[in-house]
């Protein structure tokens, strides 16, 4: 009896530490590869070199500046793409003829790889932040648009009848029925979009720019400064993960009713 | 006294899947007096639900007219409240917020409307501990009580009930039927209720309209003159049995196969 509970407790501890163990193991293998000189150090630098580089660029302010530049691009692109997708998605959900008119363009934009048409955006919008924002907005746009359309179209007809029978105004139906009813689908769209926005900004920065983590990666790569490339990549990962975390928190508070309902 | 419902030669039809027209209802004509409790009884698919939707202003008839207190019904009216087989609660709203929704749409202050909703709970057979529960945490019977609360808070003159207890188990159904009877005894609204249950209809109604198969027509108009207040035990009485026989004979006509 005691043995079983002890084993179960041990297993629970193990599960909690499993991700950290995995991380530790990865760094260990990395260090091993470095020490065995499988690859030259400019291809696989030591973990410590990356750490040192991180400290250097943190202290000289470069990391901060480029991170802020990327963060601004990401956030503005995300918000712009969201607003566009939400309004257009709502309009399309309400007027099917709009879908017939717009779907060829939307599908074409979605089918073309962003990396392929991003240079065009730089030509049109310049090498400043606006081209990155447009790239981010475009990449965010499609999943959010689809989720908005599905979310609004899936509002139950019975609840629409209910609102009608209580003489709800169109605005009341929008705020009290359509938005909350579509919210779960909108939130899952936002989760996808938040991570995509980072990709959009970096793709824009890769093509042509003088600031941002994408720019930093390009620069570092041309100088074979592999530790700096790794620092910038880790920073981007952190931004994407943080954004995802913020959206998850938002989802938890907005959809708390779902968790309460599932418990039953 | 208001809440007078009239149907004149009401016909409803839908476009058939293979082209042409599928008649669903009618023609039916009837009169429901203010404060009267009328049950609509008939085989499924005979257009009773369509009739409820027409009277509720959610749908226009293909032919004929429906009137509320002499004026043509073309859209939902604030005097009329509807209730369906599904509770249609908003899962993101608590019990109180669901009940208070109609008042919220009318612009009643939050404190006031929540208080009004809280006042209804005991009469609905809902404990105060459910006030802040979400619909997903409720049983089917409780959800339907909340839906009834959302109807009653509108203080309607006419209640249109489309098989409101059809999805509930027999015991819950009996209890909630009794509760509805008490509400009606106190408020004396006009009630038109669709049901498949003969005993339930006799227990509740002043009058039972029996419908034929699709397209539904009224084939019997059976007054129920049993004294009120009625109790479940009344269903074992001779008078009750006579009405039941009468209704069953009419239903048999509507359902020749089952007879």
Instruction: For residue B141, give every residue at least 6 positions away whose Cβ sits within 8 Å of its Cβ, in sequence order, or none.
Output: B168, B169, B172, B173, B175, B176
**Would the pLDDT of A134 be above 60?**
yes
Report long-range pairs for B194-197 (Cβ below 8 Å, ≥24 apart): B194/B39, B194/B40, B194/B48, B194/B49, B194/B52, B194/B161, B194/B162, B194/B163, B195/B39, B195/B40, B195/B41, B195/B163, B195/B165, B195/B166, B196/B41, B196/B44, B196/B163, B196/B166, B197/B173
B214 or A170: which carries more pLDDT confidence? A170
Residue B216 forms part of a structural domain? yes
- Asked whether residue B101 falls in the same domain as residue B195, the answer is no
- Asked whether residue B9 falls in the same domain as residue B94, the answer is no
- Asked whether residue B121 falls in the same domain as residue B18, the answer is no
- Asked whether residue A27 falls in the same domain as residue A109, the answer is no
- Asked whether residue A16 falls in the same domain as residue A78, the answer is no
User: How far, in Å, CA of B255 to CA of B251, rounded?
Assistant: 6
Please give the structure tokens belonging to residue A16: 């909690």
Ordered alpha helix ranges (H), chain A: 2-35, 47-59, 62-94, 96-111, 114-125, 129-153, 157-165, 170-173, 179-207, 213-222, 226-254, 256-263
Confidence (pLDDT) at A25: 93
Using a pLDDT cut of 90, give the percent of chain A over it: 36
Residue B84 forms part of a structural domain? no
- Asked whether residue A25 falls in the same domain as residue A126, the answer is no
Partners of A255 on chain B (C-beta within 8 Å) are 92
Mean pLDDT (chain A, rounded): 88
The total of structural domains in chain B comes to 2
- Asked whether residue A203 falls in the same domain as residue A182, the answer is yes
Question: CB distance A158–B136 less than 8 Å?
Answer: no
- Strand B63-68 relative to strand B5-15: parallel, antiparallel, unpaired? antiparallel
B254 or B1: which carries more pLDDT confidence? B254
- Asked whether residue A52 falls in the same domain as residue A25, the answer is no
- Asked whether residue A24 falls in the same domain as residue A146, the answer is no
Q: What is the mean pLDDT of residues A226-251?
A: 91
User: How far, in Å, CA of A66 to CA of B118, rounded?
Assistant: 56
- Asked whether residue B142 falls in the same domain as residue B14, the answer is no
Residue B249 forms part of a structural domain? yes
Residue B33 forms part of a structural domain? yes
Q: What is the mean pLDDT of residues A150-170?
A: 91
- Show the domain range for A17: 1-38
Question: CB distance B136–A261 less than 8 Å?
Answer: yes
User: How far, in Å, CA of B235 to CA of B239, rounded?
Assistant: 9
> How many CB atoms are closer than 10 A to CB A243?
21
Please give the structure tokens belonging to residue A184: 């779960």
Instruction: Answer whether B76's CB lies under 8 Å from B50's CB.
Output: no
Question: pLDDT grade, residue A3 (50/70/90)?
Answer: low
Nearest to A162 among B57, B88, B133 (CB): B88
Question: CB distance A176–B84 less than 8 Å?
Answer: no
CA distance B49 to chain A (A): 13
Look at the block and give the residue holding tokens 């509507």: B254
CA distance A171 to chain B (A): 10
Look at the block and give the residue holding tokens 């509807």: B82
What's the complex ipTM?
A: 0.84
Provide the sign of the torsion angle of the four alpha carbons B37, B43, B45, B46, taken in this order. Answer: negative
- Asked whether residue A64 falls in the same domain as residue A21, the answer is no
> Which tens digit of pLDDT belongs to each residue from A12-43?
888 888 888 898 999 999 899 888 888 888 88
Residue B259 forms part of a structural domain? no
> Which tens digit of pLDDT belongs to each residue from B34-60?
989 999 988 877 788 889 999 999 999
> Which tens digit of pLDDT belongs to each residue from B101-141?
999 998 889 998 999 889 888 888 888 888 889 998 888 88
Q: What is the 3-state secondary structure (H, E, C) of B112-177?
A: HHHHHHHHHCHHHCCCHHHCCCCHHHCCHHHHHHHHHHHHHCCCCCEEEEECCCCCCCHHHHHHHH
- Asked whether residue B140 falls in the same domain as residue B188, the answer is no
Partners of B84 on chain A (C-beta within 8 Å) are 158
- Asked whether residue A24 falls in the same domain as residue A144, the answer is no
Instruction: Answer whether A69's CB lies under 8 Å from A216's CB.
Output: no
Residues 145-184 of chain A with CB under 8 A from chain B are 156, 158-159, 161-169, 172, 176-177, 180-181, 183
The total of structural domains in chain A comes to 2
**Would the pLDDT of A262 be above 80?**
no
Question: CB distance B102–A166 less than 8 Å?
Answer: yes
Confidence (pLDDT) at A2: 64
DSSP B223-249: E----SS--GGGGGSHHHHHHHHHHHH
Question: CB distance A166–B134 less than 8 Å?
Answer: no
**Would the pLDDT of B226 be above 60?**
yes
Task: Tell me the C-alpha to C-alpha distance, in Å, between residue A174 and each of A90, A94, A169, A170.
Answer: 10, 12, 9, 6
Residue of B nearest to A172 (CA): B105
Global pTM reads: 0.81
B19 or A81: which carries more pLDDT confidence? A81
Partners of B82 on chain A (C-beta within 8 Å) are 161-162, 165
Question: CB distance B101–A183 less than 8 Å?
Answer: no
> How many CB atoms are closer than 10 A to CB A44?
16
User: How far, in Å, CA of B257 to CA of A257, rounded?
Assistant: 48
Q: Which residue of B134, B138, B167 is the best one to mutate when testing the A interface, meaning the one whose CB has the most A CBs within 10 A?
A: B134
Partners of B57 on chain A (C-beta within 8 Å) are 165
Confidence (pLDDT) at A263: 58
Range of lowest pLDDT (A93-97, A208-212, B79-83, B92-96): A208-212
User: How far, in Å, CA of B86 to CA of A242, rounded?
Assistant: 41
- Asked whether residue B101 falls in the same domain as residue B166, the answer is no
User: How far, in Å, CA of A153 to CA of A149, rounded?
Assistant: 6
Nearest to A164 among B58, B90, B92 (CB): B58
**Would the pLDDT of A264 be above 60?**
no
- Asked whether residue B225 falls in the same domain as residue B149, the answer is no
Residue of B nearest to A169 (CA): B105
- Asked whether residue B232 falls in the same domain as residue B106, the answer is no
- Asked whether residue B136 falls in the same domain as residue B196, the answer is no
Assign residue A126 the CATH number of its domain: 1.10.3720.10
Distance of CA A10 to the CA centre of its chain: 35
Distance of CA A249 to the CA centre of its chain: 14
Partners of A168 on chain B (C-beta within 8 Å) are 105
Question: CB distance A159–B84 less than 8 Å?
Answer: no
> Which tens digit of pLDDT belongs to each residue from B73-100?
988 988 899 998 888 999 999 999 999 9
Distance of CA A206 to the CA centre of its chain: 18
Partners of B102 on chain A (C-beta within 8 Å) are 166
> Which tens digit of pLDDT belongs to each residue from B142-198?
898 899 899 989 888 999 999 888 777 888 888 888 888 888 888 888 999 998 888
Q: What is the mean pLDDT of residues A230-235?
A: 91
Using a pLDDT cut of 70, give the percent of chain B over it: 98
CA distance A27 to chain B (A): 45
Beta bridge partners of B158: B80, B190
Instruction: Answer whether B66's CB lies under 8 Å from B55's CB.
Output: yes
**Would the pLDDT of A184 be above 80?**
yes
Instruction: For residue A223, give every residue at least 6 positions away whose Cβ sits within 8 Å of its Cβ, in sequence order, or none.
Output: none
**Would the pLDDT of B256 be above 70?**
no
Residue B95: exposure state from Cβ atoms within 10 A (0-12, 13-18, ≥19): buried
Question: CB distance B88–A261 less than 8 Å?
Answer: no
Q: Which of A42, A224, A7, A206 is nearest to A115 (CA)?
A: A206
Partners of B148 on chain A (C-beta within 8 Å) are none
- Asked whether residue A103 falls in the same domain as residue A8, the answer is no
User: How far, in Å, CA of B186 to CA of A189, rounded?
Assistant: 50
Confidence (pLDDT) at B258: 47
Q: What is the mean pLDDT of residues A104-108?
A: 86
- Asked whether residue B236 falls in the same domain as residue B180, the answer is yes
**Would the pLDDT of A199 be above 50?**
yes
Assign residue B191 the CATH number of its domain: 3.40.50.300
CA distance B234 to chain A (A): 35
- Asked whether residue A51 falls in the same domain as residue A95, the answer is yes
- Asked whether residue B165 falls in the same domain as residue B245, the answer is yes
- Show the domain range for B107: 89-155
Residue B60 forms part of a structural domain? yes
Instruction: Answer whether A194's CB lies under 8 Å from A78's CB.
Output: yes
- Asked whether residue B11 falls in the same domain as residue B114, the answer is no
Give the containing element (helix H, strand E) for B199: helix B198-204
User: How far, in Å, CA of A107 to CA of A104, rounded?
Assistant: 5
Task: Tell me the C-alpha to C-alpha distance, in Å, between residue A31 and each of A41, A49, A224, A235.
Answer: 11, 11, 19, 21
């Amino acid at each position: 009896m005691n043995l079983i509970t002890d084993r179960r407790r041990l297993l629970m501890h193990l599960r909690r530490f499993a991700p950290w163990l995995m991380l530790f193991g990865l760094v260990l293998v990395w260090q091993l590869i470095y020490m065995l000189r499988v690859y030259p150090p400019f291809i696989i630098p030591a973990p410590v070199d990356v750490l040192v580089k991180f400290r250097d660029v943190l202290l000289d302010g470069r990391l901060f500046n480029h991170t802020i530049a990327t963060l601004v691009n990401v956030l503005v692109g995300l918000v712009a793409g969201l607003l566009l997708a939400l309004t257009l998605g709502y309009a399309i959900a309400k007027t099917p003829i709009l879908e017939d008119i717009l779907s060829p363009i939307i599908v074409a934009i979605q089918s073309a790889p962003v990396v392929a048409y991003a240079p065009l955006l730089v030509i049109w919008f310049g090498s400043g932040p606006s081209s990155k924002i447009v790239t981010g907005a475009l990449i965010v746009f499609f999943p959010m648009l689809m989720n908005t359309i599905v979310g609004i179209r899936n509002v139950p007809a019975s609840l629409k009848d209910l609102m009608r029978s209580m003489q709800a105004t169109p605005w009341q139906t929008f705020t009290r029925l359509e938005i909350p009813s579509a919210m779960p689908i909108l939130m899952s769209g936002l989760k996808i979009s938040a991570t995509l926005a980072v990709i959009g900004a970096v793709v824009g920065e890769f093509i042509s720019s003088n600031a941002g983590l994408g720019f930093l990666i390009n620069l570092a790569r041309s100088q074979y400064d592999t530790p700096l490339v790794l620092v910038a990549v880790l920073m981007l990962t952190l931004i994407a993960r943080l954004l995802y975390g913020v959206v998850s928190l938002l989802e938890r508070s907005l959809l708390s009713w779902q968790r309460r309902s599932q418990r039953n | 006294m208001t809440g007078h419902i009239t149907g004149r030669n009401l016909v409803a039809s839908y476009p058939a899947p293979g082209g042409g027209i599928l008649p669903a209802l009618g023609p039916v004509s009837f009169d429901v007096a203010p404060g009267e409790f009328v049950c609509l009884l008939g085989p499924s698919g005979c257009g009773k639900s369509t009739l409820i939707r027409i009277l509720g202003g959610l749908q226009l008839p293909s032919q004929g007219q429906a009137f509320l207190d002499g004026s043509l019904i073309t859209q939902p009216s604030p005097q009329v409240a509807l209730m369906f087989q599904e509770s249609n609660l908003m899962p993101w709203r608590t019990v109180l917020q669901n009940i208070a929704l109609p008042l919220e749409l009318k612009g009643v202050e939050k404190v006031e409307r929540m208080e009004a909703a809280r006042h209804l709970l005991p009469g609905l057979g809902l404990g105060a501990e459910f006030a802040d529960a979400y619909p997903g945490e409720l049983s089917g019977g409780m959800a339907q009580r909340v839906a009834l609360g959302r109807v009653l808070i509108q203080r309607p003159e006419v209640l249109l009930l489309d098989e409101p207890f059809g999805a509930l188990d027999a015991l819950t159904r009996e209890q909630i039927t009794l509760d509805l009877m008490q509400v009606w005894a106190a408020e004396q609204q006009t009630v038109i209720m669709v049901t498949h249950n003969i005993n339930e209809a006799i227990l509740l109604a002043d009058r039972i309209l029996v419908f034929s198969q699709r397209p539904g027509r009224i084939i019997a108009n059976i007054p129920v003159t049993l004294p009120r207040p009625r109790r479940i035990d009344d269903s074992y009485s001779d008078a009750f049995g006579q009405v039941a026989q009468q209704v069953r004979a009419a239903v048999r006509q509507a359902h020749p196969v089952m007879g």
